[in-house]
Amino acid sequence: MDRDFLIDLFADFGPVTIRKMFSGFGISVDGTNFALALRAGVYFRADDQTIPQFEAEGSQPFQYQTRAKTVTVNSYWQLPARLFDDSEELADWARAALAAAQRAALRKRPKARKVAKPKVSSKAASKPAVGRKLAAKRPAAKAKKATRR
């Protein structure tokens, strides 16, 4: 699969960004990656809402081999072959894959962190801060000026 083929494939879906990724391409919209085009085929992002649709078509999740085992990536499922000939239905599946990718991105967003107080070393804690030294000297200086008058 080359870039031009993928652009034509997603023509009814709308403009997509295609970037080199692994041994193929990552396909995204507005920075959200929702599909992979690899030697083994095209894989769409899936989640609990869309996996049953892939299972009904007899699709399988993305898998790759390591030296020790086969790794299954359940978040990407192979696009059914019949959709390569039906660009309108492929566009519907692509919209569902984009929605699944957006839901996953919302779940990944980090929660607001509490601001931690800065740690103070034991040496720094035993010594008064510079501002405290100055503040301590000021009243004495004012008292000297008051007695001079």
What CATH number does the domain containing 69 carry?
Answer: 3.30.1460.30
Which residues does 68 contact at the CB level (< 8 Å), separation at least 6? none
Does residue 57 fall inside a structural domain? yes
Does residue 74 fall inside a structural domain? yes
Does residue 61 fall inside a structural domain? yes
Does residue 9 fall inside a structural domain? yes
Does residue 32 fall inside a structural domain? yes
Q: Is the pLDDT of residue 34 over 70?
A: yes
Give the count of beta carbons closer than 10 Å to the beta carbon of residue 5: 11
Average pLDDT, stretch 20-38? 92
CA–CA dist 137, 106 (Å, integer): 55
Does residue 128 fall inside a structural domain? no
Does residue 38 fall inside a structural domain? yes
Give per-residue pLDDT as tens, 43-89: 999 999 999 999 999 999 999 889 999 999 999 999 999 999 999 99
Domain of 55? 3-108
Q: What is the pLDDT of residue 2?
A: 85
Average pLDDT, stretch 18-26? 90
Does residue 27 fall inside a structural domain? yes
Give the total number of structural domains in the chain: 1
Q: Is the pLDDT of residue 146 over 70?
A: no
Average pLDDT, stretch 14-26? 91
Q: Is the pLDDT of residue 141 over 70?
A: no
